[in-house]
A = this chain, B = another copy of it.
Amino acid sequence: MLKTGDDHLRGLRDGRVVYLGSERIDDVTTHPAFSEAARTVAHMYDLKRSTALLDVCSYKLADERHSAWWLPAKTKDDLRLRMQCSKAVADMTYGMMGRTPDHVNGFVTGMITDPSVFNTEKYKFSENIVRYYDYCRDRDLFLTNAVLPPQAARDPDYYTRKNLPVPTLKVIRETDDGIIIDGMKMLASSAVLGDEIWIGNLLPLAPNQTNEGVTCAIPVNAEGLRLWSRQPLSKNTPTEFDGPLAWRFDETDSMVMCKEVKVPWERVFVFDDAVLPREIYIRTAAHNYGNNQSNVRFLSKLQLIVGVCSKIAYSSGANEVPAVREVLGRMAAFEALLSGAIHGQIEAAEEWPAGYMVFNRRMLYAALNWCTEMYSPIIDQLRELCGGGVFQLPANTTVMHDAEMREEFEKYWQTPQMAALDRMKLFKLAWDLVGSEFAGRQQQYEKFYAGAAFIVRGHNYREADWDFFHGIVDELMNSYDVSVGDCLDQKRDGGEQR
């Protein structure tokens, strides 16, 4: 099934409980803090099923069309379809929304490439995950997730020692038909805009944290669930013109607050386990699909940034300056490098898990590391190209509504290369990339997209074939040795004879 935008908006009016500070939001599709983002997601659902994108964004199973994000890949062409769909979706937000439906949906899709992972000695949940996948795919739901403990709660011993309640979400009770979870989980980006929240753990747990190790799924309107949203980012954006990215693409982040939320067994995937919660991502294609999407999304963003860099240079004629051209060439190189590292994941795709294929894992994590390291310097480079231009603009576009001011504005702010209003529009857009609060959130977000740097590098360490690398050194070192005659005599005269 390919849901329409209207379907999706309708689904958001489901009685969900969302708070902005102490203000309870009745309808996220109409409240100004969320309505534009909701509209963006709805539009995404419509575009995806439009004639232009139908083939790129969906596939046929039996007689039904499904969104491509639900496709478990068995061939390189399947991987290509997944990737193209992610690119099309990312292009719709210029990569500004990270938690579009393809992300967590991709995780869940990846999990059915090896459902056996979900069976332990005590619990057999493999059918749960397959059925949940079917359920979501057939309704084309938008899954989001909350898979991190609150920042402060990462060392649970601290709390115990200080006799404080550990704030992390955990199972507090078990019943015949399900479990009861309670506590706080972060950081449910897009949750207010989606249908479901996947609850899990991406970070290692202490061996005794089996209650925290629960993995399950709940609808956003589950009883007892409240979302505490962070502040919306578009407050300083009186009109779309003033901050076009903040205006449309604030996906929001929420703390998930559960007060005795009931989860039926069929929605439980890991239970009473401190190890498996992380492994389900990396022992199946889950992490692979989800992070290829993140690579691709970053590429869309980078393409916008490269375009803005060049336009900014063009707006003052600076694109004729050799040093500026060098910078632009370097930015273009960044884009092509990432694009190469993404395409290479298909050329070097891996046949794994049995019967399926995944994007080359090492290349994927390598690209993830690159994105994490490079967003700050890339934005800093755009900042440099902007110079003081961002401060020279009038406070807002109302000058265009006053005939005299408008004349003045158009006369004084134009350049030989660009009309005044176009420059203002361009610099406002650039500012939404480098200086607005929306830009600030993006910089923070990309740096911690996949956790702290050591986590991303940990993935790279884990996946590296160290035997291969050691083998190179060993082969070289085994090809020569200190021998009996191996001494200074061997190469007398500073190397002239031997």
Contact = CB atoms under 8 A, between A and B. Distances in A.
A65 interface: no
Contact of A493 (B396, B481, B492): B492
19 contacts: A21-B488, A22-B402, A150-B412, A167-B413, A231-B395, A235-B495, A244-B477, A255-B392, A308-B473, A311-B473, A329-B464, A333-B456, A336-B460, A337-B366, A337-B370, A340-B342, A340-B366, A341-B344, A435-B444
Interface residues of A, number: 172
Interface stretch (A50-58, A124-132, A278-286, A318-326): A318-326
A386 interface: yes
A105 interface: no
A33 interface: yes
Interface in A168-215: 183-184, 186-187
A239 B483 CA distance: 10
Task: Name, among A363, A376, A401, the residue most crowded by chain B CB atoms within 10 Å (CB to CB).
Answer: A363
Interface stretch (A113-121, A133-141, A266-274, A415-423): A415-423
Nearest to A235: B236
Interface string A238-258: 111110100100000101010
A458 interface: yes
B435 A435 contact: no
Contact of A491 (B32, B443, B471, B490): B32
A473 B429 contact: yes
A379 to B, nearest CB: 9
Interface stretch (A4-12, A67-75, A154-162, A217-225): A154-162
A233 interface: yes
A494 interface: yes
A19 interface: yes
A366 B416 contact: no
A401 B239 contact: no
A497 B21 contact: no
Contacts of A298: none
Contact of A232 (B343, B452, B461, B495): B495
Task: Name, among A308, A421, A435, A498, the residue most crowded by chain B CB atoms within 10 Å (CB to CB).
Answer: A435
Contacts of A316: 151-152, 154
B429 A434 contact: no
A414 interface: yes
A15 interface: no
B334 A339 contact: no
Contacts of A336: 360, 362-363, 365-366, 460, 464
A398 B241 CA distance: 30
A293 interface: no
Given A317-B158, A477-B425, A487-B398, A452 B387 contact: yes
A66 to B, nearest CB: 25
Interface string A375-407: 010001001101111111111111111100100
A125 to B, nearest CB: 29
A453 interface: yes
A391 B253 contact: yes
